[in-house]
């Protein structure tokens, strides 16, 4: 099974690209540093639930949709 941090980062990147926004813009909307967002997308951060919420809000996606079980199983 893939590391959850890597799977989380891939999901952030997938949704960000679907929305057509840069890492910098997503970071600004979420209220986190751009370098932090890079580390999240690269699976280098074990992020807090508060930042999960911020990222979901910034991506305009519910937490339940973000954590689509089928996505996490396939990747």
Which residues form the domain of 12? 4-65
CB neighbour list of residue 65: distance below 8 Å, 6 or more residues apart: none
What's the mean pLDDT when you consider all of the chain? Answer: 91
Domain count, the chain: 1
- Domain CATH for 12: 1.10.260.40
Specify if 31 maps to a domain.
yes
| In-domain check, residue 75 | no
Q: What is the pLDDT of residues 20-30, one digit of tens each?
A: 999 999 999 99
Whether 51 is covered by a domain: the verdict is yes
Residue 50 pLDDT grade (very low, low, confident, very high; cuts 50, 70, 90): very high
42 pLDDT tier (thresholds 50, 70, 90): very high
Quote the pTM value.
0.87
- The answer to whether position 37 is within a domain reads yes
Q: How many beta carbons lie within 10 A of that of residue 8, not counting itself?
A: 22
72 found inside a domain: no
């Amino acid at each position: 099974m893939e590391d959850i941090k890597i799977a989380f980062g891939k999901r952030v990147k997938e949704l960000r690209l679907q929305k057509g926004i840069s890492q910098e813009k997503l970071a600004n909307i979420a209220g986190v540093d751009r370098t932090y967002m890079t580390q999240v997308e690269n699976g280098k951060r074990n992020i807090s639930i508060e930042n999960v919420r911020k990222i979901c809000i910034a991506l305009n996606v519910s937490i339940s949709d973000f954590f689509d079980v089928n996505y996490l199983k396939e990747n």
